């Protein structure tokens, strides 16, 4: 394995148990009855990684722990997810003969329970599926939608945008959840085990209880208990409004009952049954910002198959989600802009960081102006046109930062004039990467938006606050409509970037993705360039310090000893900021006849395989 790269690396905390044979990377066989006990004990022993108070708009799901991680090698199948319970559930399903799709469903249900701050059935997701037999890549859109009653001025008060903190919690920010419809659609096409069987691990764990992890405890400690609805507050906090301590056994019987209904009756139990009525009532009677979701919004929700966005980069083919995700379009623009340049073989070399940042600025400027739900706006068709990118590339100097970039004028714009966008994206998100024994794969990024979503709990799960991903201003100062404005049934723009990379022979090479709000693009891009250009593998990719520009200052990850890099970039005219950058890169790489899984040390993930 390539050695992990950290500059003046801080000490990482070890989980205290080993799952891997040091000789060949094979997985130890651990008796199941002891498995979760070991994990729980390890979590209790972990100290919280110190993190400063943060602007909620910049990094609401902040750093908690840093764990020492190692790549995992397997021969047949691999699951990489953000919590050991979820990874174990996915591997259990694979061992029963389940497909990557089956495992992803089981993983999502367990994540909803043990990592409730990040994702769940009250939210949405984007997913790539690779069918090895047909050699077909498909992408599925499970993004939340605005209610039919939503209007462009939804987040305006007296003609001015609401403060983000005021808008994000309560019923007004809740979009119609999409993850269950998406997973049901996927299962009908690619599932091998029964739908009902896939819910068993989460139901059993919800009834038995799980140990509160250091990360969950830290995020609860940083949150305001009064921002939660009464049911959520009573679940996560004690009578003195103290968060459940690390190691506390948290049971969730209402969630177990909800999952049993979904397991037995399908997604209709959620979208058309009694549970739908509970969701709507909770949204409309929320303590903060009552919303306007209806039972018709839930009953009418549809998940769509979308054409994936694919480009060539070096000798690889890189594929991801199209709109309403801006992820792969933006990543694709950046990769094609830097492709003619030599980025060197040394990770984090200054000339490469400068060129990458300049390309990121150009792509983020276009993203903000043009990208939104393509069912509602006509996306310019020339964003990846080689002639357009060549013109944009002329704006990149090797020797000096351009400062803030302006959006370009892509061809085939069809006469549209879009206004300047004011959207903000939060970071309550998780990523799952899976390859099964047949070579089928799933890359799924799943979210409830900010940490703990709208902080409204229904039947043991949290609802999203995804509608705050829309621009609060429907028009700019010149009166031009913003592409990502609120409209009825529209899906807010996302940066989620589930990604698959194929080698020159067309063989699946990597499955990857990350949480992180609008920084997801930076995290996934870092991983692609780190692997293809800089030759990094496994844990070296996930441990590589985070960096990049979202058409603002060049951001460098706090705690990774990057002061000298910042000074070198400032000499080229960049404004730099050293900030927490809590990625969650989870990947599987096919290397010869082996699968290499790796998790991001900034979260609590685990890679497991056979």
Report the CATH number that the domain containing residue 142 is assigned in CATH. Answer: 3.60.20.40
- For residues 309 and 333, the answer to whether their CB atoms sit within 8 Å is no
Domain span including residue 463:
32-305+423-546+581-609
| Side-chain half-sphere CA neighbours of 545 within 13 A | 26
User: How many domains is the chain built from?
Assistant: 1
Q: Which residues contact 293 (CB under 8 A, 6 or more apart)?
A: 147, 171, 174, 176, 279, 280, 283, 284
Identify the residue whose tokens are 């049911």. Answer: 231
pLDDT for the residue numbered 415: 61
For 307, counting Cβ atoms within 10 Å of its Cβ (0-12 exposed, 13-18 middle, 19+ buried), the class is exposed
pLDDT for the residue numbered 62: 62
Residue 8 lies in a domain: no
pLDDT digit string, tens, across residues 361-397: 999 999 999 999 999 998 888 999 999 999 999 999 9
pTM of the model: 0.89
Provide the greatest CA pair distance for the chain: 66
pLDDT for the residue numbered 412: 81
For 403, counting Cβ atoms within 10 Å of its Cβ (0-12 exposed, 13-18 middle, 19+ buried), the class is exposed
- For residues 305 and 160, the answer to whether their CB atoms sit within 8 Å is no
- For residues 270 and 262, the answer to whether their CB atoms sit within 8 Å is yes
Distance of alpha carbon 95 from alpha carbon 110, whole angstroms: 17
Q: Retrieve residue 339's tokens.
A: 């492709």
Residue 16 lies in a domain: no
| H or E segment to which residue 168 belongs | helix 164-168
Please state, as a whole number, how many other Cβ atoms lie within 10 Å of the Cβ of residue 416: 13
Of 564, 400, 586, 577, nearest in space to 497 by CA: 586
- For residues 211 and 332, the answer to whether their CB atoms sit within 8 Å is no
Q: Give strand ranges (E) for 339-487.
A: 428-435, 441-449, 457-458, 461-462
Of 111, 57, 123, 62, nearest in space to 454 by CA: 123
pLDDT for the residue numbered 63: 59
Q: Which residues of the chain have pLDDT under 50?
A: 1-60
Is 429 among the residues known to form the active site?
Answer: yes
Residue 265 lies in a domain: yes
pLDDT for the residue numbered 51: 29
Residue 174 lies in a domain: yes
Q: At what angle do helices 386-393 and 327-338 cross, to 10 degrees?
A: 60
- For residues 44 and 247, the answer to whether their CB atoms sit within 8 Å is yes
- For residues 481 and 473, the answer to whether their CB atoms sit within 8 Å is no
Identify the residue whose tokens are 């799709």. Answer: 101
Per DSSP, the residues of 294-359 read -HHHHHT---EEEPPEEEEETTEEEEE--TTB-HHHHHHHHHHHHTTS---SSTT-HHHHHHHHHH
Distance of alpha carbon 354 from alpha carbon 350, whole angstroms: 6
Q: Retrieve residue 525's tokens.
A: 């891009």
For 587, counting Cβ atoms within 10 Å of its Cβ (0-12 exposed, 13-18 middle, 19+ buried), the class is buried
Distance of alpha carbon 320 from alpha carbon 382, whole angstroms: 18
Q: Retrieve residue 283's tokens.
A: 């949204």
Residue 433 lies in a domain: yes
DSSP 3-state of 173: helix
Residue 565 lies in a domain: no
DSSP 3-state of 15: coil
Please state, as a whole number, how many other Cβ atoms lie within 10 Å of the Cβ of residue 593: 7
Distance of CA 271 to the CA centre of its chain: 24
Exposure b/e, 513-539, CB count within 10 A at least 16 = b: bbbbbbbbbbbbbbbbbbbbbbebbbb
Residue 243 lies in a domain: yes
Q: Give strand ranges (E) for 408-531.
A: 428-435, 441-449, 457-458, 461-462, 499-502, 508-513
DSSP 3-state of 282: helix
Integer-rounded Cα Rg, in Å, for the chain is: 22
pLDDT for the residue numbered 68: 74
Instruction: Give the 3-state secondary structure of 26-54.
Output: CECCCCHHHHHHHHHHHHHHCCCCCCCCC
Active-site choice (15, 145, 330, 429): 429
Residue 228 lies in a domain: yes
Q: Which residues contact 64 (CB under 8 A, 6 or more apart)?
A: 48, 49, 51, 214, 215, 218, 219, 603
Of 301, 87, 288, 41, nearest in space to 184 by CA: 301
pLDDT digit string, tens, across residues 488-534: 999 999 999 999 999 999 999 999 999 999 999 999 999 999 999 99
pLDDT for the residue numbered 3: 33
Distance of alpha carbon 154 from alpha carbon 486, whole angstroms: 7
Of 550, 276, 320, nearest in space to 421 by CA: 550
| Side-chain half-sphere CA neighbours of 140 within 13 A | 28
Please state, as a whole number, how many other Cβ atoms lie within 10 Å of the Cβ of residue 563: 13
| H or E segment to which residue 157 belongs | strand 156-157
pLDDT for the residue numbered 214: 95
DSSP 3-state of 501: strand
For 315, counting Cβ atoms within 10 Å of its Cβ (0-12 exposed, 13-18 middle, 19+ buried), the class is exposed
Please state, as a whole number, how many other Cβ atoms lie within 10 Å of the Cβ of residue 345: 10
């Amino acid at each position: 394995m390539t050695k992990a790269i950290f500059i003046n690396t801080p000490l990482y905390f070890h989980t205290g148990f080993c799952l891997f044979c040091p000789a060949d990377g094979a997985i130890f066989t651990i008796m199941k009855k002891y498995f979760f006990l070991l994990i729980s004990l390890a979590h209790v022993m972990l100290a919280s990684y110190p993190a400063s108070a943060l602007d909620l708009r910049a990094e609401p799901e902040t750093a908690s722990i840093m764990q020492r991680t190692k790549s995992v090698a397997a021969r047949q199948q691999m699951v990489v997810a953000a919590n050991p319970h979820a990874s174990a559930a996915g591997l259990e399903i694979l061992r029963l003969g389940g497909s990557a799709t089956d495992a992803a469903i089981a993983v999502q249900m367990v994540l909803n329970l043990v990592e409730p701050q990040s994702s769940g059935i009250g939210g949405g997701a984007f997913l790539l599926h690779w069918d090895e037999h047909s050699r077909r890549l498909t992408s599925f859109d499970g993004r939340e939608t605005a209610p039919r009653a939503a209007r462009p001025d939804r987040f305006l008060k007296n003609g001015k945008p609401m403060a983000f903190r005021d808008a994000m919690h309560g019923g007004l920010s809740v979009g119609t959840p999409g993850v269950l419809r998406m997973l049901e659609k996927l299962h009908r096409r690619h599932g091998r085990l029964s739908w009902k069987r896939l819910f068993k691990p989460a139901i059993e764990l919800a009834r038995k209880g799980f140990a509160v992890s250091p990360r969950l405890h830290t995020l609860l400690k940083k949150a305001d208990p009064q921002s939660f609805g009464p049911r959520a507050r009573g679940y996560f906090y004690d009578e003195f409004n103290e968060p459940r301590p690390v190691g506390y056994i948290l049971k969730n019987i209402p969630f177990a009952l909800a999952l049993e209904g979904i397991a037995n009756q399908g997604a209709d139990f959620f979208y058309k049954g009694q549970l739908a009525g509970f969701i709507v009532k909770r949204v409309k009677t929320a303590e903060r910002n009552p919303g306007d979701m209806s039972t018709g919004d839930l009953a009418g929700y549809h998940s769509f198959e979308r054409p994936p966005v694919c480009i060539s980069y070096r000798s690889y083919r890189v594929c991801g989600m199209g709109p309403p995700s801006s992820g792969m379009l933006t990543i694709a623009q950046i990769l094609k802009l830097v492709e003619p340049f030599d980025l060197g073989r040394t990770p984090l070399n200054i000339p490469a960081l400068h060129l990458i940042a300049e390309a990121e600025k150009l792509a983020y400027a276009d993203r903000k102006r043009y990208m939104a739900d393509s069912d509602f706006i006509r996306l310019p068709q020339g964003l990846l046109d080689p002639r357009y990118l060549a013109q944009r590339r002329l704006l990149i100097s090797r020797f000096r930062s351009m400062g803030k970039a302006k959006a370009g004028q892509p061809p085939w714009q069809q006469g549209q004039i879009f206004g300047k966008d004011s959207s903000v994206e939060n970071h309550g998100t998780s990523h799952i990467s899976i390859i099964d024994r047949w070579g089928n794969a799933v890359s799924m990024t799943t979210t409830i938006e900010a940490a703990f979503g709208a902080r409204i709990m229904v039947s043991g799960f949290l609802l999203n606050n995804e509608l705050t991903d829309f621009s609060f201003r429907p028009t700019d100062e010149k009166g031009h409509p913003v592409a990502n404005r609120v409209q009825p049934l529209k899906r807010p723009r996302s940066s989620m970037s589930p990604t698959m990379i194929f080698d020159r022979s067309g063989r699946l090479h990597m499955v990857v993705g990350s949480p992180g709000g609008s920084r997801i693009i930076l995290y996934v891009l870092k991983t692609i360039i780190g692997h293809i250009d800089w030759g990094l593998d496994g844990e070296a990719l996930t441990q590589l310090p985070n960096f990049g520009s979202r058409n603002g200052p060049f951001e460098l990850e706090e705690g990774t000893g990057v002061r000298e890099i910042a000074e070198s970039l400032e000499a080229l005219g960049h404004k730099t900021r050293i900030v927490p950058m809590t990625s969650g890169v989870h990947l599987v790489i096919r290397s010869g006849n082996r699968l290499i899984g790796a998790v991001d040390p900034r979260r609590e993930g685990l890679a497991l395989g056979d």
